Amino acid sequence: MVSLDEAARVLREGGIVGVPTETVYGLAARGLDPAAVARVYAAKGRPTGHPLILHVLDPEPYGVMDARARALAAAFWPGPLTLVVPRRPVVPDAVTGGHDTVALRDPAAPLLRALIERVGPIAAPSANRFGAVSPTTAAHVLADFPDLPVVDGGECVVGVESTIVDLTGPAAILRPGGVSRAEVERIVGPVAIGGRTAAPGTLASHYAPRARVVVTHDPDAVAAGLPGRVAVLRARPPEEYAATLYAALRALDAQGVDVIVAEWCAEEGIGAAVNDRLRRAATPAT
Ligand code: TXA
Ligand code: MG
Tell me the pLDDT tens digit for each residue of 37-78. 999 999 998 888 789 999 999 999 999 999 999 999 999 999
DSSP 245: H
21 lines ligand 1 (CB under 6 A): yes
**Spatial CA neighbour of 126 closest among 212, 255, 202, 40:** 40
pTM of the full predicted structure? 0.96
DSSP 270: T
Radius of gyration of the chain (CA): 18
For ligand 1, atom 29, name the residue with the nearest CA.
Answer: 102
Does residue 92 have a pLDDT over 80?
yes
Query: Distance (Å, rounded) from C-alpha 225 to C-alpha 32?
Result: 53
CB neighbour list of residue 147: distance below 8 Å, 6 or more residues apart = none
Query: Distance (Å, rounded) from C-alpha 123 to C-alpha 141?
Result: 17
CB atoms within 10 A of CB 32: 20
Q: What does 231-281 look like in DSSP terms, one character per residue?
A: EEE----HHHHHHHHHHHHHHHHHTT-SEEEEEPPPSSTTHHHHHHHHHHH
179 lines ligand 1 (CB under 6 A): no
Residue 192, H or E segment: strand 192-193
Determine the pLDDT at residue 60. 98
Which of 44, 91, 126, 205 to mutate to test ligand 1, by most ligand atoms within 8 A of the CB atom? 126
Polymer length in residues for the chain: 286
Determine the pLDDT at residue 196. 58
Q: How far is CA 259 from CA 52, 94, 152, 210, 244, in A?
A: 32, 38, 31, 9, 18
Residue type, 165: V
Task: Kindly give the distance from the C-alpha atom of residue 154 to the centroid of ligand 2, in angstroms, as a whole number.
Answer: 19
Which of 54, 161, 175, 277 to mutate to test ligand 1, by most ligand atoms within 8 A of the CB atom? 161
Task: Kindly give the distance from the C-alpha atom of residue 218 to the centroid of ligand 2, in angstroms, as a whole number.
Answer: 29
53 lines ligand 1 (CB under 6 A): yes
**Spatial CA neighbour of 167 closest among 64, 97, 260, 96:** 64
Cβ(20)–Cβ(154) below 8 Å? yes
Which of 23, 52, 116 to mutate to test ligand 1, by most ligand atoms within 8 A of the CB atom? 52
Query: Distance (Å, rounded) from C-alpha 254 to C-alpha 205?
Result: 20
Question: Which neighbouring-strand residues pair with 84?
Answer: 103, 166
For residue range 164-212, list pLDDT tens digits in order: 999 999 999 999 999 999 999 999 999 999 875 555 555 555 678 899 9
- Under the banding of pLDDT at 50, 70 and 90, the label for residue 286 is low
Average confidence score pLDDT of the chain: 94
For residue range 213-244, list pLDDT tens digits in order: 999 999 999 999 999 999 999 999 999 999 99
